[in-house]
């Protein structure tokens, strides 16, 4: 981190369109919190980044509990590592697609994919190719969704509040990772050895996020001209 900080400090240049904001940090954050778009983007990012953090944390426990005879701790750790790598690789592609096609359609596709894949996982298919592909696809959807949401934030935010809103959205993503493992543990059915209820809640959350994404379509179109005029 120190090396990267030095490289950024000495070799990277500010954007020609960037202007410094002398306003203190706390008033900027408080101003951002008063905007509805801040909470809406925070919710979307909490789903994708929070879901990524939650699955990365809980996946080994899930696999060794649901498939105890097929997956040992080493195998579960390997699958967790593959999940993380797939999500990390997918994130910049989600951002690039959002830059070219818009954050809204890419976010919508990712949310729909998350809902569908979570439903497949809730059926507890036999461990093997299907589960492997499903979890890798889930990782890709969550990773691409992170890039898409963050690529969308500047397009729906007032130009002078993009930095503050981005900071709040990032923090919401981190907080979003704490709750799903608690929900999975609380909804685990020991009698049937099933996490179905927790996964159905993920399906419902992803569908709600998809609906919000589609509702924000008109608002995105209305904010964009104002932002471009301000620039």
- 205 membership: H or E segment, kind and range: helix 196-230
Residue 150 lies in a domain: yes
Distance separating the N- and C-terminal Cα atoms of the chain: 33
Residue 231 lies in a domain: no
Residue 66 lies in a domain: yes
Q: Is 9 exposed, middle or buried (0-12, 13-18, 19+ CB in 10 A)?
A: exposed
Q: Is 146 exposed, middle or buried (0-12, 13-18, 19+ CB in 10 A)?
A: buried
Print the domain residue range for 117. 24-216
CATH number, domain of 67, equals 1.20.1250.20
Radius of gyration of the CA atoms of the chain, in A:
19
**Residue 218: half-sphere exposure toward Cβ, Cα within 13 Å:** 2
Residue 206 lies in a domain: yes
% of the chain exceeding 90 in pLDDT? 54
Residue 10 lies in a domain: no
* Digit-coded pLDDT (tens) for 137-193: 999 999 999 999 989 998 888 888 888 899 999 999 888 888 888 888 899 999 998
Residue 4 lies in a domain: no
Looking at residue 105, its pLDDT comes to 93
Residue with tokens 């507890």: 124
Q: Name the band, by pLDDT with cuts 50, 70 and 90, for residue 227.
A: very low
Cβ atoms of 216 and 148 within 8 Å: the answer is no
Global pTM value: 0.83
Looking at residue 159, its pLDDT comes to 81
Residue 6 lies in a domain: no
- Of 55, 49, 53, whose CA–CA distance to 76 is shortest? 55
Looking at residue 84, its pLDDT comes to 94
Residue 18 lies in a domain: no
Query: What is the number of residues in the chain?
Result: 231
The predicted model gives 42-69 an average pLDDT of: 91
Task: Provide the number of structural domains found in the chain.
Answer: 1
């Amino acid at each position: 981190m120190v090396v990267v900080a030095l490289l950024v400090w000495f070799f990277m240049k500010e954007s020609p369109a960037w202007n410094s904001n002398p306003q203190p940090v706390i008033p900027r954050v408080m101003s951002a919190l008063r905007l509805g778009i801040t909470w809406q983007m925070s919710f979307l990012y909490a789903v994708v980044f929070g879901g990524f953090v939650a699955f990365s944390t809980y996946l080994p426990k899930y696999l060794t509990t649901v498939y105890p005879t097929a997956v040992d701790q080493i195998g579960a750790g390997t699958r967790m590592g593959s999940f993380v790598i797939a999500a990390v690789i997918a994130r910049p592609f989600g951002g690039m697609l959002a830059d070219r096609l818009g954050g809204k359609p890419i976010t919508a596709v990712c949310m729909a994919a998350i809902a569908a894949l979570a439903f497949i996982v809730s059926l507890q298919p036999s461990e093997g190719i299907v589960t492997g592909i499903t979890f890798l696809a889930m990782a890709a959807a969550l990773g691409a969704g992170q890039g898409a949401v963050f690529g969308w934030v500047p397009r729906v935010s007032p130009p002078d509040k993009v930095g503050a809103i981005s900071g709040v959205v990032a923090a919401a993503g981190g907080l979003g990772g704490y709750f799903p493992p608690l929900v999975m543990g609380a909804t685990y059915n020991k009698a049937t050895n099933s996490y179905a209820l927790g996964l159905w809640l993920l399906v419902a959350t992803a569908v709600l996020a998809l609906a919000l994404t589609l509702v924000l379509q008109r608002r995105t179109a209305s904010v964009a001209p104002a932002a471009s005029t301000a620039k």
